[in-house]
Structure 1
């Protein structure tokens, strides 16, 4: 079966590399062969998918396929798909209604299971699927009467608060927090998810200088707290810790992470903060992202560094270095959220009119070994790309293939069995050595007698979904080996090399 054009095989420029009898040990953070290349797919307000409300199943499937096509062509290996945008569901949840962003009408059954279809579509391409949940946002309006009658927010008005024209579950109400966790865990338990992802919304962003109206919950549940800000951070920390534990109990190999607002605190406020003068998530959203890293609550953190290099209040370079320093020595992987949506957009700063801006971000990040990947916001910008910024980033930094990240806590697990290779008539056949793996990694080795060099990106030719290897692969003449990758990213020992 010919490879699809997006299955790019990089077979030139091979450096010296041979295999050792012991095979290749699993490597976690810091391996140059591993990199997260992700994209967010937002459903709220039809930002990315679904593109419009109430579309039939075939149109929705085709639209998601188009997004995956664009992502795959650029070299993306993970998608972060928003499946619970406003206390609703993109799957038949027993806890919350079908999403209005899917059917056009909250509670209307679309007649199929979108989450199952989306996960399967990503996995067929060897792309990891991270389900993205917004914990506390109930509605983009503040009228409970507009919710379906059976909505939990209507059955439990004591859980909700109206603020800034929107409706939220109150993070200070323990029953509300437990319900949110239960609703999310339903998807985690029922679907083959590679990750559980939260964004930057915990307590809402301040609206017009108005205080968040949680006097009643603070009085009822504040306990010994005299500092309401500290109590709010405690509430957010409880959600993060409890959800992490629940996810690991149900799906131990799923990654659990958060993409917080990019500024924790400014150095003028706290000496541990960054050299910035911007909104502070610690104080404004009550999100102690630095504490989550320190306490090991996350598998990864993906701060949204949506500013350009040299920004006067929040310089990308200063923040990238700050996050790299703060994650050093911890098992929390660091991936950076990149503002692809700003590139070429009307009204944005001059830096965002330069097609090389995001590529320069990754140039800088390449010198910071703690940064193990990037996530682009958002998927539609991969296709529109008005000034070619995303294409430039991919050409400069994602041209060569990469293995997916491996969480440090999973690195010591049992890797898959090594595959077996057979070559004939200019093709290579890869057969699994055990249960079919998630991906195969193809390496083109130097000609001549063996040696002892270690694996490197120089010989990494392709990272392919196992389904693409069900038939012989036509390849240029050369000496090849392959490994198997499981869903966690653990790599097998290499197969015995063959000549094609």
Structure 2
């Protein structure tokens, strides 16, 4: 709705609606004989509102919770060493699936709207692949099938719960031991031992070999072609973390592919990783433009003592100098859709201070088409020092809300959150993430708002003495040209105007729900109070979270 006269006219219109509505409700018989029959709600035809711009929201965060209505709330689900799922290798398929459903239910209940699931923990896979054997974390033996497709299963279950699903890969890590013979015969490292580097008792694919980079590009292409994932995600493991002063043994590869072209072996290593990132970005967006590509690097790019544009930190390890991951180049070439630096330090920690690093990353992404999410160390909560303060992590989240460039958070890892250290899971559920949030739009990926839902209706359903639920149902507009992926359900107290700012507060968004392949969509609101008047609206969203205009208003009075 606009400003000035139109707002005054709408206010007068809604006052008239309220008077008529209350007169009708006061004369409406509420017979106990209705029993299980549903009492029809009163429907009010009101103006719908439209967003201004593609996914841009100008209203302030909710004054009640301080939380924005659009925020990525992600959690990593680690499969390496069976950290999160499955709980141990060798479980029957049905038990693995039951665990997976339970974890996704718990993630949804805590307010998360995205999961980052590790589908390539080592040189293995959680899906049938031409480029890697089955993971030993599934069956107990690398190369042995678990009897079903875990990625396909978990992806379907996540989408059913309207959770965005990002497939998380570790590109170069092969194993935590250095025995090639212990790998499955179909492991590329076993088939191509010249591609492998032995370092500090572990095995890695050599990033300096073009054949290795081609293998990784083919791996991602296979994933994107076969699975309807929302994102492809890499973490911080590129060249391995240095172990003491032990050098990474790739000098021969450098002489073959980099000497004479690069000033140093470090520049050559960074060029290798840059080439991989650029190739993956091109591959993903060529095959499926809606799939997001993101990386979660080590949280310090460079210290200021090494580069004046680096952060005011004194980290012993940096992304640029130690892991050869030049995240600045990736951002400025628009190879990434999001970046999620792992800021796993407390506020006030001198060598890598949390608020200093958040400000540095905010400045780093300003003006570039990339979303910034902050990686949070849930596993450290309650571990001692500042992490023994129950307010440490909530302070992180409140601090991040100061910056429009911070589009969300990702927590490592799910079972660490579910353990409820210092009551943090309860804080998420009851306060920090009490109200759901929509995922921010990435305009550069395309997409657009679907048509508004139509024919919104409601029925009151008795649930025992003096208890009711509200059963909403609605239809898609058949003339809409953009496919609807899910719906947002809004509830306001009283006879409420469809004011854009009222609907953009986090307290107005009641729930999101995946679209069903059916003529009618149904949502049941169980969080209702007797003798209350509510106004409901529903919107439709595409898979990239562009939101339609609202449905017409629906006013419901609870007896």
> So what's the TM-score if we normalise by structure 1?
0.91
1:37-81, Cα deviation, whole Å (9 max, x unpaired)? 000001111111121111111110111122112211110000000
Question: Pick from 392, 395, 401: which aligns with 2:427?
Answer: 392
User: Residues 262 and 319 of structure 1 are in contact (CA less than 8 Å); yes or no, is this contact kept in structure 2?
Assistant: yes
Secondary structure of the corresponding residue to residue 478 of structure 1 = strand
Task: Give 1:427 shift.
Answer: 3.0
Aligned counterpart, 1:289: 327
Between the aligned partners of 1:88 and 1:474, the Cα distance in structure 2 is 43
Aligned counterpart, 1:42: 78
Between the aligned partners of 1:96 and 1:418, the Cα distance in structure 2 is 44
Aligned counterpart, 1:301: 339
> So what's the TM-score if we normalise by structure 2?
0.82
- Please tell me whether residue 419 in structure 1 is matched to residue 478 in structure 2: no
Aligned counterpart, 1:7: none
Aligned counterpart, 1:164: 200
What pairs up with 1:236-255 in 2 under 5 angstroms? 236-255=273-292
Q: Greater shift after overlay, 442-451 or 260-269? A: 442-451
- Please tell me whether residue 257 in structure 1 is matched to residue 308 in structure 2: no
Aligned counterpart, 1:495: 551
Q: Greater shift after overlay, 417-426 or 279-288? A: 417-426
Aligned counterpart, 1:13: none
Task: Give structure 2 stretches of 5+ with no counterpart.
Answer: 1-45, 60-67, 461-469
Task: Give 1:461 shift.
Answer: 2.5
User: Residues 48 and 551 of structure 2 are in contact (CA less than 8 Å); yes or no, is this contact kept in structure 1?
Assistant: no
What pairs up with 1:325-364 in 2 under 5 angstroms? 325-345=363-383, 348=384, 350-364=385-399
User: Residues 90 and 99 of structure 1 are in contact (CA less than 8 Å); yes or no, is this contact kept in structure 2?
Assistant: yes
- Please tell me whether residue 123 in structure 1 is matched to residue 159 in structure 2: yes
Report the number of matched residues. 479
User: Residues 134 and 199 of structure 1 are in contact (CA less than 8 Å); yes or no, is this contact kept in structure 2?
Assistant: yes
Aligned counterpart, 1:368: 403
Structure 1 residues 81 and 135: alpha-carbon distance in aligned structure 2, compared to 1, 3 A threshold: same
Aligned counterpart, 1:9: none
User: Residues 55 and 440 of structure 2 are in contact (CA less than 8 Å); yes or no, is this contact kept in structure 1?
Assistant: no
- Please tell me whether residue 26 in structure 1 is matched to residue 72 in structure 2: no
Between the aligned partners of 1:19 and 1:325, the Cα distance in structure 2 is 40
Secondary structure of the corresponding residue to residue 325 of structure 1 = helix
Aligned counterpart, 1:324: 362
Task: Give 1:269 shift.
Answer: 1.3
Task: Give 1:393 shift.
Answer: 4.2
Between the aligned partners of 1:39 and 1:87, the Cα distance in structure 2 is 23
Aligned counterpart, 2:268: 231
Between the aligned partners of 2:51 and 2:191, the Cα distance in structure 1 is 58
- Please tell me whether residue 428 in structure 1 is matched to residue 456 in structure 2: no
Question: Pick from 132, 136, 149: which aligns with 2:185?
Answer: 149
Aligned counterpart, 1:378: 413
Between the aligned partners of 2:382 and 2:516, the Cα distance in structure 1 is 37
User: Residues 337 and 374 of structure 1 are in contact (CA less than 8 Å); yes or no, is this contact kept in structure 2?
Assistant: yes
User: Residues 29 and 333 of structure 1 are in contact (CA less than 8 Å); yes or no, is this contact kept in structure 2?
Assistant: no
Task: Give 1:28 shift.
Answer: 5.1
What pairs up with 1:134-145 in 2 under 5 angstroms? 134-145=170-181
Between the aligned partners of 1:386 and 1:267, the Cα distance in structure 2 is 34
Aligned counterpart, 1:401: 436
Structure 1 residues 30 and 328: alpha-carbon distance in aligned structure 2, compared to 1, 3 A threshold: farther
User: Residues 493 and 535 of structure 2 are in contact (CA less than 8 Å); yes or no, is this contact kept in structure 1?
Assistant: yes
What pairs up with 1:57-72 in 2 under 5 angstroms? 57-72=93-108
Task: Give structure 1 stretches of 5+ with no counterpart.
Answer: 1-17
- Please tell me whether residue 184 in structure 1 is matched to residue 220 in structure 2: yes
Between the aligned partners of 1:19 and 1:386, the Cα distance in structure 2 is 46
User: Residues 301 and 320 of structure 2 are in contact (CA less than 8 Å); yes or no, is this contact kept in structure 1?
Assistant: yes
- Please tell me whether residue 456 in structure 1 is matched to residue 504 in structure 2: yes
Aligned counterpart, 1:466: 515
Structure 1 residues 109 and 470: alpha-carbon distance in aligned structure 2, compared to 1, 3 A threshold: same
1:177-209, Cα deviation, whole Å (9 max, x unpaired)? 101111222111101100000000000000121
**Structure with bigger gyration radius:** 2
Between the aligned partners of 2:403 and 2:448, the Cα distance in structure 1 is 30
| CA RMSD of superposed structures (Å) | 2.1
Structure 1 residues 470 and 388: alpha-carbon distance in aligned structure 2, compared to 1, 3 A threshold: same
Structure 1 residues 38 and 381: alpha-carbon distance in aligned structure 2, compared to 1, 3 A threshold: same
Q: Greater shift after overlay, 474-483 or 220-229? A: 474-483
Structure 1 residues 389 and 449: alpha-carbon distance in aligned structure 2, compared to 1, 3 A threshold: closer
User: Residues 128 and 134 of structure 2 are in contact (CA less than 8 Å); yes or no, is this contact kept in structure 1?
Assistant: yes
Between the aligned partners of 1:90 and 1:78, the Cα distance in structure 2 is 19
Between the aligned partners of 1:406 and 1:222, the Cα distance in structure 2 is 40
User: Residues 22 and 493 of structure 1 are in contact (CA less than 8 Å); yes or no, is this contact kept in structure 2?
Assistant: yes
User: Residues 49 and 550 of structure 2 are in contact (CA less than 8 Å); yes or no, is this contact kept in structure 1?
Assistant: no
Secondary structure of the corresponding residue to residue 504 of structure 2 = coil
Structure 1 residues 163 and 314: alpha-carbon distance in aligned structure 2, compared to 1, 3 A threshold: same
Between the aligned partners of 1:396 and 1:481, the Cα distance in structure 2 is 24
Structure 1 residues 367 and 430: alpha-carbon distance in aligned structure 2, compared to 1, 3 A threshold: same
Task: Give 1:20 shift.
Answer: 5.3
Q: Greater shift after overlay, 335-344 or 23-32? A: 23-32
User: Residues 30 and 369 of structure 1 are in contact (CA less than 8 Å); yes or no, is this contact kept in structure 2?
Assistant: no
Secondary structure of the corresponding residue to residue 109 of structure 1 = coil
Aligned counterpart, 1:440: 487
User: Residues 78 and 84 of structure 2 are in contact (CA less than 8 Å); yes or no, is this contact kept in structure 1?
Assistant: yes
Between the aligned partners of 1:480 and 1:277, the Cα distance in structure 2 is 52
